Amino acid sequence: MSTLNKATLRRLSQLKRINSVWEGARRPLPRKSYSYNDASNVLHLPPEDREDPPECILWVDGSLGMVRAMDVVEPDVGNDAFARALIQAIERPQGPAQPALPQKILVADRELQFYLRGVLQGLDITVEYAETLPLINEIFSNMLEHTTAPPPMIPPSMANQLLEQSAQLWKNAPWKQLMDHQVIAIEMNCCDLERLFAVVMGKLGLEEGVLFYRSYASLAQFRQRLLASEDDEVMMEETFLGQDCLFNLFESREDMAEPDMRFLQMHGWTNQEVYPVFGSLHPLEGGRPNLYEEEAQGLTIALSALNQFYKQHGRKFKHDQFPECGGVYTVESAQGIQEIPVQTMPELAKELAEITAVPEYRESRIGDNLLPEGTLIKLTEMPRSKQAILRSLPHVQLDPEPFPQKGIGVPNLLLQTSRPKATQIIKGIADRDGIGGICFAPGVGPLGGNYEVLLLVMGNGELQIITDFVMDDPQDSQQSKQWQTRCGNMDNRCVVTIAMGVNKARGNPDLSHFLGYYEVKLMTPDEIGLQVLQGRIDLEF
């Protein structure tokens, strides 16, 4: 059993002793199931299917009716956590209480009573057993009574209609044609919304979806402030939170919380690859990842009108064209039948383009969705003996020309993850017509700094971001340069390998772990028409 050291005992003994009786208890947090979220604004309540919910430790002053310390711990944490919370209650109490030693403490656990008696030797604190702890019981009861779930992402009454329009938006995929400065005006005049300015996100590699600005001034100010604050991380965050808009964005399955996923599926969402995210931004509210009833009604109407507009005019936006076009679209809503005018705004699009004019560094063909989250990325060297064996794998891409017989191995870009995710990578490569090459492209971060961005050049011309190296970091810079030098010694050739193994084999797979093998070229940025890449800050809500 752990005991307090002499220095701690001396320090605690010098505190004032008060004539109070404290109660202490440790209890599991109750499971509570929500259809849309498992969080609480008081305590984090575990999901209903969790087998071992965390536990809450409470120390309260029974004489004053005051909580002196509270902590949430995992169930397998021993009694030391209970003693730590008691020391906090003595030395660093919560709220207005002052540091002090109690006259007596009560616990409702015999084992805990004997444990604390041993820990507190020398502090002259009586530790007694009590069958019930009235104040603790009352506090836990009140906490649970006032523990309420946050509002759902969207009101259940509007979920089916809104998800139907969101699914149609994903199917239309306007971000394949429209840029984020090309504004579409939607005349609402309902749901406390007048004119919305729709901006489609996604063509420049940002999160796909649409932002519906409540005013053009907010849209223009955001673009101006974004440029002014690009070197200030704090101001950048304030700039994003200062927008005034509703939004419908899309996340991959891996980024979506399970309760939210179940809620959306329950209300008719069938796409298993992506899930919609709804919410609101406002300068005085900040980011809110949910919609209330009237906001959901307004967004449903706006999406319906935009979808109808895109069905009629979408073909006109090919080759970056943004002509003047529009129409009036009939939308059925809870407020009755609405006639909603929708119109492109080419002149405003030009204004925005001038406000945010930047060099042509961003590439619409660059993506970063080939590798699942958690994939290990390692620049290494493969022995020639292993290379000869891997050339016979089921998933290979072989160069008819043999590698130069120089050195002891060949440069290898290792991508390692779990078996299902490794299989997913191999399928993604096949869907993109294989790997044409590897390229290290120069880049500038969104807040400054020089980088080298490691890209896979896919067979279909797409570029996939793998990782980046901070060139101002000597270790990163040396690693990149040495590996590229090895490629140069191989006549600018290297291999890409896909392996499974996420435990002991992580970073050092044996032959049985390899699933894919690709022989590729090391290419220069000029060969694939790249200039300096400009980093971005994604919209995260």
Backbone Cα Rg of the chain = 30
Helices (H) and strands (E) in the chain, counts: 13, 23
pLDDT in tens, 37-67: 333 333 334 444 445 678 889 999 988 888 9
Residue 149 one-letter amino acid: A
pTM across the whole model: 0.48
Torsion of CA 180, 183, 187, 189, to 10 degrees: 50
Instruction: Give dist(CA 281, CA 332) in Å, integer.
Output: 26
Going from the C-alpha of 490 to that of each of 168, 224, 275, 399, 495, the distances in angstroms are 50, 48, 44, 13, 11
Among the listed residues 500, 491, 490, 493, the one whose alpha carbon sits nearest the alpha carbon of residue 518: 493
Looking at residue 384, what is its pLDDT?
Answer: 87
Q: Where are the alpha helices (DSSP H) in 30-133?
A: 80-91, 110-119
Residue 415's DSSP bridge partners are 377, 498
SS (H, E, C) 6-56: HHHHHHHHCCCECCCEEEEEEEECCCCCCCCCCCCCCCCCCCCCCCCCCEE
**For the chain, domain boundaries:** 6-145, 156-355, 366-534
- Is residue 20 within 8 A of residue 62, CB to CB? The reply is yes
SS (H, E, C) 141-201: HHHHHCCCCCCCCCCHHHHHHHHHHHHHHHHHCHHHCCCCCCCEEEEEEECCEEEEEEEEE
- Is residue 243 within 8 A of residue 139, CB to CB? The reply is no
Looking at residue 50, what is its pLDDT?
Answer: 46
Looking at residue 43, what is its pLDDT?
Answer: 35
Instruction: Give dist(CA 307, CA 171) in Å, integer.
Output: 10
What are the residues whose beta carbons fall under 8 Å from the beta carbon of 35, sequence distance 6 or more? 152, 156, 259, 262, 263, 266
Looking at residue 147, what is its pLDDT?
Answer: 54
Domain 6-145 has CATH 3.40.50: no
pLDDT in tens, 329-347: 999 887 789 999 999 999 8
Tokens describing residue 341: 């005018």
- Is residue 439 within 8 A of residue 461, CB to CB? The reply is no
Looking at residue 535, what is its pLDDT?
Answer: 59
Angle 375-381-384 from CA coordinates, rounded to 5°: 120
Instruction: Give dist(CA 238, CA 187) in Å, integer.
Output: 29
Pairing of strands 493-500, 514-523: antiparallel
Looking at residue 359, what is its pLDDT?
Answer: 34
Instruction: Give dist(CA 489, CA 327) in Å, integer.
Output: 61
Mean pLDDT for back-to-back runs of 10 residues, the chain (541 residues):
76 91 85 37 40 81 87 83 90 87 92 90 91 86 62 87 95 90 93 93 77 89 70 64 89 77 88 89 82 93 97 87 94 88 92 58 67 90 90 89 85 93 93 92 70 89 88 85 91 93 81 93 85 55 34
Looking at residue 525, what is its pLDDT?
Answer: 86
